[in-house]
Structure formats: C-alpha cells, structure tokens
Amino acid sequence: MEQLNYLSLLPEIVIILAGILVIAADLIIDKKDNIISEVISVLGLIIALFLTGNQFLNPEIISQNNMLISDSYAVFFKVALIILSLMVILISSHHIRERGITHRAEYFTFILFATVGMMIMAGSLDLVTVYVGLELMAISIYILVGISRTEFLSNEAALKYFLLGLLATAFLLYGISFTYGMFGTTNLVVIKNFLQNNTTANSGYILVLVFLVIAFGFKVAAVPFHMWTPDAYEGAMTPVTGFMSVGPKLAAFAVLGRVFVYSLLTLKAEWTLILTIVSILTMTVGNVVAIAQTNIKRMLAYSSIAHAGYCLMGLVAAGGLAGSLGLQSVLFYLSGYLFMNVGAFSIIIFLNKKGISGSELDDFSGLNERYPGIALMMSVILLSLAGVPPTTGFAGKLYVFMAAVKSKYMFLAVIGVLNSVIALYYYLRIIVYMYMKKPADLKEETNRSVPLLLVLGIAVVAILVLGIYPEPVLNFAKSAAGGMF
C-alpha cells in the first residue's frame, strides 16, 4: 500500500490536463471556426481510455492515503464514463455551433472536468473523496445545463437543478458528518471492519442510511427526489441532457454499490428495506407519468427515472441472497443504458431545427418517409429501452429480474415486469408516430454531421451486440462485482 501513487491517477490527470489545454488553446488560437477543442478533448479521452484499460491488467491499488482505489469495479465505471464522454463530445460538436453557443472551449472543458469528477466518485474509498468528486461533477454540470445563457428554458433548468443539487449536497454532508461521528472515520474499509466486529445494533446507523439514500436519490433521480429531472432535462441542451442522464447515474450507482454493498453490507437488512420502497416508487411513478408526456425529452427523463428504479432493484438484490449477481446485473444494465440513452438523444439532435429543439412528439410523425434509416435506428433504441429482445435493454432487465427472484424478492420482480408493460406503451407510441402518421409539413434543417451519425451507428450496434452476445461485458461486470463482497 503506497501513500501517494500518481500512476493509478494517470487517466484523471490526463483528462484534467486536456481540459486545461482546451481553454489555453482557445485563448491562443483566434476564434475562428476551429475544431481544436474537440480534437484535444477526444485525444485526451482516448489516451485516458487506454491508461484505464491498462489498470485493469494490474491488481487493485489503494492509493492517496487510502482515499482512492483502482480495482476492476472502479475500472468498469471509468471505462463506461470515458466512453460516454467521448460520445457526448462527438454528438455535441456540430450542435453547439448550430445553437450559437459562444463558449465552445468552456463547454468541452466542463464535460472533461465532470468526467473526472465522476471517475473520482467511481474510484473513491473514502466519503471525503466521494464528496469532492460529486461536487466536481455537479458544479460542472450546473454550468453545462445553463450554458445557453440567453435562453429562458436553460436558465430555469440550471436554476432548478442547482438549487435541488445544493439541497442534496447538504443532505450528503449531514450524512457524512454523522458517519464520522459514529465511526470516527470516513474511510469505507475501516467502517466495514468496524461493523463486522461490532454487531450491536445502533439506531443512529439508520439516520446515516436515510441521509445517504436521500443524497444519492437526488443524483440518480429516484422518486421522491426526482422533481428536478424533467425540467433540467428539457431545458438543457440536448447533448448535455444525454450526458447528465447517464453520467451522474453511473457515478452515483458506483458510489451506492461501494458504500452500501461493500462497506455497509452488515446493515443490509435496513438498507434493502429503504431501497425496496424507493425502487418500487421510482419504477412506478417514472413509467406512469411518462405516459402523459408529449415532449420526447421529458418522456425520456421520466423513462430514465424508471430505469433508475430497475437498477435500484438490482442493488436490493445485491443485498439479498443473490449477492454479487445482483451487483453484476446493475453494472450490465447501466452499460446498456449508456448506449440506449446516448443513442436516443443523438436522434433528437439529428432532428434539431434552428431555434427549437425538435423534441416534440409531432416532430417524429412520418419519420419513416423522411429518413427511413433514422426511423429504423430509433425503433431499435426504443425497443431496447422498452426491453424487447434481442436488445441490451432486454438482457439487462432479464438479469436484474433474475437477481431479484434469486434473492426471493418475487414481488419486486413482478412489479418490475408490470412496469415494463406500462413502459412499452409510451415507447411504442413513438414508433407508431414514426411509421403510421403522415409527416408534418415542415422543412427542417437536420444535423447531418458525420460524428453524430458515427455515434448513432456505434450506439445501435452496441445495443444489438450487448443484447445478442453479452458475455464479454457480463464477465467484466462479474469480475467487477465479485471484488465487492
């Protein structure tokens, strides 16, 4: 165990340097329509991806005074986060020019900084680093949501997200302060050992659990802490929505897994009860309210709430008999969710018109006649979100429900299946619009940039590959989840 080990932090350092370089390059090179920001960001992320992949080959390293860990669990999330960030940068490159965002370099810098924040969360072994990583992520994303400064919707979304994010932070810190008060430390390994040696029940533990669930409930948009989600998702620029609908969720689930499953496993009776209730509420409210939405971005916001509910179900299963199988199913589900959501938001970007975001349900009517290829890809993505085979949405749900059944949470699995049926309705409605309605009579300018179509293609292929041949990712998730028990 080394005190300071910068080698294991190399991916984060590279991304931070790339972020600073983006700003510097923007200052030096005159403000013509250059793509230097994108090039630097993408290069930095690719180098970081290789460095992170290299960490997978090494045994786990605990570094920086037991604050950070790089084990296969952290590497799994870091790889997913870097891929997300790469895809988001590629889909936003053309879009932010169309929307006339003047602060292009800052936009990419904050995407990179948010990525680093989430990577720190994924690799943290101490509640202090969880907090610092979470804030780095949250502050960057507040700025990204509000980056179209002159638009009302963007201002309002940023303000709502910011205020409720602050509230979540206060709850997290209050929870951390009581954790410190009860255990005398914030280190998750020490807490784990303490709990294993002192089995006497302490009602104060429940207080800590409740505060942590509230704080991370805000970040994963679990009901009843989801109020900000639809507004922030609708008001933010579409690539940012894609980013914030996946990234914070991945990072928060990484922390939930690390804190609850790894560190507080002895208290599983308490936290599985809390998470069961939250999971049922999240699935049901998300899916039922999504039916009423006519704006696709709002609908996807509620659908992302519902997906968080399914993941929470897997987490509950991880506290039950299924053990590592439950956590593995969460990891696999999230990796599929990444491609589904980025794909769906790429299509909304593709349909973007000048000024309006192109995200109303009517914008999709008759899409098949206008762009048959795009309509087909959207159908694959929607069927995957609904959980229809042979897509990753189906495989992910299958594993989550299987884990729930194995943990003897039959009712939870039944509620999950019923919810998938509800979800099918509003996803299929878009497909009906695309294939059976007459196209709306509007000539729109679509976003035909090559990187966007590339990302779209990658997302669709990944959805199908993860659905048909999930073994490689599943094995990766298995080794990642196995180390947590």
For another protein, the closer of residues 186 and 449 by Cβ is: 186
For another protein, the closer of residues 134 and 334 by Cβ is: 134
For another protein, the closer of residues 4 and 321 by Cβ is: 4
Number of other residues whose CB lies within 10 A of the CB of residue 255: 27
For another protein, the closer of residues 34 and 295 by Cβ is: 295
In 3D space, the residue among 160, 152, 159, 296 whose CA is nearest the CA of residue 221 turns out to be 160
For another protein, the closer of residues 184 and 355 by Cβ is: 184
Separation in Å, CA 370 to CA 300, 363, 435, 436? 23, 11, 10, 13
In 3D space, the residue among 482, 483, 473, 383 whose CA is nearest the CA of residue 431 turns out to be 383
For another protein, the closer of residues 201 and 227 by Cβ is: 227
Instruction: Quote the CA–CA distance of 176 and 212 in Å, as a whole number.
Output: 8
Q: Give me the helix-helix angle, 72-98 and 10-28, nearest 10°.
A: 20
Contact between residue 249 and residue 219 where contact means Cβ atoms under 8 Å apart: yes
Instruction: Quote the CA–CA distance of 206 and 165 in Å, as a whole number.
Output: 23
Number of other residues whose CB lies within 10 A of the CB of residue 321: 12
Q: Smallest gap, in angstroms, from Cβ of residue 144 to another protein?
A: 11
258 CA to centre of own chain? 16
- Partners of 63 in beta bridges: 68
What stretch of H or E contains 391? Answer: none
Instruction: Quote the CA–CA distance of 370 and 270 in Å, as a whole number.
Output: 53
Q: Smallest gap, in angstroms, from Cβ of residue 128 to another protein?
A: 6
Q: Smallest gap, in angstroms, from Cβ of residue 62 to another protein?
A: 17
Q: Is the dihedral of CA 162, 155, 246, 364 positive or negative?
A: positive
For another protein, the closer of residues 162 and 337 by Cβ is: 162
Q: Smallest gap, in angstroms, from Cβ of residue 227 to another protein?
A: 8
Q: Smallest gap, in angstroms, from Cβ of residue 156 to another protein?
A: 5
Q: Smallest gap, in angstroms, from Cβ of residue 108 to another protein?
A: 18
Q: Smallest gap, in angstroms, from Cβ of residue 229 to another protein?
A: 10
End-to-end Cα distance, the chain: 20
Applying CB under 8 A, the residues found at the interface with another protein are 128, 131-132, 135, 139, 142-143, 146, 149-153, 155-160, 162-163, 166-167, 169-170, 173-174, 176-178, 180-181, 184-186, 230-231, 234-235, 289
Q: Smallest gap, in angstroms, from Cβ of residue 136 to another protein?
A: 9
Phi, psi (degrees; rounded to nearest 5) at 393: -60, -40
Number of residues that this document lists for the chain: 485
